Structure 1
Amino acid sequence: MEALGLKAQSSIQTYDGMRRVDMSAPGIVQALPQRHRCAFTVQANKKVVKKQTVVLKQDVPNLGTKGAITTVPNGFFRNFLKPQNIADLATEGILMNLEREKERGEKAAKDVKTKARAMAVALQTIGKFIVKKKVGENDKIFGSVTPSEIVDAIFQQTGRQLDKKDIELPEINTLGTYPASIRLHPEVSGVFNVVVQREKNA
């Protein structure tokens, strides 16, 4: 078999121009000019799923919330998100607008927190707010001190209208001084005293 292989190899004739090249000669492959050599590359053809980066214009379950930037298949964007006006392509202009809106939102949130802290300082500085009530025996008041009365008392002294739902009061039954607080921001609370006094006409 080896002799047959050598015979077959010797029967192959190669020409360099008009001159026959003996392929059996030692080192002949290395001696061949560059133009006679070929390189073969094998590549696997894989189906590539093309995707797009988009900005959601509303909340989409399992995809993201309004304003979120996400990547979706082209077909999903072209056939569903775009026709339904649910998302836009994340172009440079849109991304810049989103960044500006984010900065404005962060600034607004910071301003709200700053105002809440300033109000907390004002409440602590003033220290107490007076509520007058009708009184019966043993200095027991008629009715109760309500959050609305506290909010009104704060408004009279600060000019700031607060939400009565954010007031926290202890149980008040008699004349005296009681600690109270109000939530001014998710991260800021104001503390002060409520002084319950007798109405003059009582």
Structure 2
Amino acid sequence: MKKTKLILTCDVDNLGASGDVVSVAAGYARNYLLPRGMAQPWTRGAQRQIDQMVRARRSREIASIEDARAVRDAIEASTGVTISKRASDDGRLFGSVQASDIAAAVKDQLKQTVDRRKIVINQPLKALGRFEVVCKLHDDVSVTLPVLVEAE
């Protein structure tokens, strides 16, 4: 099996984080990672770009596990966040609730910062009601966040 060396441009579950250099099967690289923009081919001159991505990731992520636990405790102590969206009479949304909407609501309502890339939405939120999403605050810390979607 031929391996291909790639630089990840975004976090990929069970593979690595943005800026990591990984070796994957050639077909996986050619058919999945490269067309979706999740990775780019590794070259010797790309080390500067890798360093830049690692610095950007460090500035985005919560610095320590203690900070992540503090954010987790604040989210668990709350009743969740409320998001208002335009909806039809039968309760279907015009569009859907995105991870960026949830991150903005957490910042506005709970005064906590959560990276939108770390919010995991299992199924699209396209209706009114109460949902639960998972926020991966740190490698070892995650929290379930209740989200209430209501009509504007």
TM-score (norm 2): 0.55
Contact 1:179 1:194 in 2 (8 A): yes
Q: Which structure 1 residue ranges, 5 or more long, are not aligned?
A: 1-110
Amino acid at match of 1:193: P
Matches within 5 A, 1:8-157: 112-157=64-109
Question: After TM superposition, which residue ranges in structure 1, 4 or more long, deviate above 3 angstroms?
Answer: none
Q: Does 1:161 align with 2:97?
A: no
The 3-state SS of whatever aligns with 1:156 is: helix
Contact 1:123 1:192 in 2 (8 A): yes
Q: C-alpha distance in 2, partners of 1:160/1:122?
A: 8
Deviation at 1:164, TM superposition (A): 0.3
**1:92-120 deviations in Å (ceiling 9; x for gaps):** xxxxxxxxxxxxxxxxxxx7101101111
Paired-residue identity, %:
27
In the other structure, the counterpart of 2:147 is 194
Larger Rg: 1
Across the aligned residues of Structure 1 and Structure 2, the Cα RMSD in angstroms comes to 1.3
The 3-state SS of whatever aligns with 1:148 is: helix
Contact 1:119 1:190 in 2 (8 A): no
**1:157-189 deviations in Å (ceiling 9; x for gaps):** 232222100001232121000011111000000
TM-score (norm 1): 0.42
Higher relative contact order (CA 8 A, sep 6+): 2
Aligned pairs, how many?
Answer: 89
In the other structure, the counterpart of 1:174 is 127
The 3-state SS of whatever aligns with 2:127 is: coil
